[in-house]
Amino acid sequence: MASLYDLKPRFQALLRPLARGLLAAGITPNAVTLAALGLSLLLGAALALWPASAWVMAAVPLVLLLRMAMNALDGMMAREGGQATTLGLVLNEVGDILADGAVYFPLALALGVDPLLAAGFVLLAAVSEAAGLCGVATGAGRRYDGPFGKSDRAAALGALAILAALAVPQAAWINWVFGVLAVLTAATTLNRVLKAARGRP
């Protein structure tokens, strides 16, 4: 199934000069990974402290885009700089899951989403990434199948944050939207599990 993740090669091509520059400056892939997590934690804290701030909401899509760039950078730097390590793999995968939860739960609450639905969405997002990792164990490779992967989540939540920053009323429909996003995330998990269970790329 199609996903925004399919655009990653083009995104990486744009970032490759920056990746080479960071490596030349002595910056490690793990440092970029940890910086992306730290940035997400700061945004999550800002959302929790100032949930009604239009400025904080406006920062959400920008930070999510920057985080996606950093996520692409750390992988490129590790591969092309000969710095790929098992620690880096663990930091990358665990960091992504923590970063998602750190941003999406307080964002959902700030948007007025029911707390249980917000928590369920964050849990499903974490499970979908864990399902993607199952492919590594079965020989199917890391699964990034859609229809609602990490990049898609960032795009959808960023769009909702922009609407909130513009003071567009969302109370009447925000829970329905998050319900749909949760269903799409569950479908993504199922898709990845089925692909991983085949045991081949």
Model pLDDT, residue 10: 75
- And the tokens for 3? 């996903």
- And the tokens for 68? 């996606």
Reply yes or no on whether the pLDDT at 171 is more than 70: yes
Annotated domain spans of the chain: 4-197
- pTM for the whole structure: 0.90
Instruction: Tell me the fold of 4-197.
Output: Four Helix Bundle (Hemerythrin (Met), subunit A) (1.20.120)
Please answer whether residues 151 and 107 qualify as being in contact, where contact means their C-beta atoms are separated by less than 8 angstroms. no
- And the tokens for 33? 């990974």
Q: How much is the mean pLDDT over the chain?
A: 91
Q: Which residues contact 4 (CB under 8 A, 6 or more apart)?
A: 149, 151, 152, 155
What pLDDT, in 10s, does the model give residues 74-93?
Answer: 888 888 888 888 898 899 89
Chain center to CA of 37:
11
CA terminus-to-terminus distance, the chain = 15
One-letter amino acid at 130 equals A
User: What whole-number distance in Å separates Cα of residue 126 and Cα of residue 131?
Assistant: 9
What pLDDT, in 10s, does the model give residues 95-110?
Answer: 999 999 999 999 999 9
3-state SS track over 23-70: HHCCCCHHHHHHHHHHHHHHHHHHHHHCCCCHHHHHHHHHHHHHHHHH
- And the tokens for 42? 């700061």
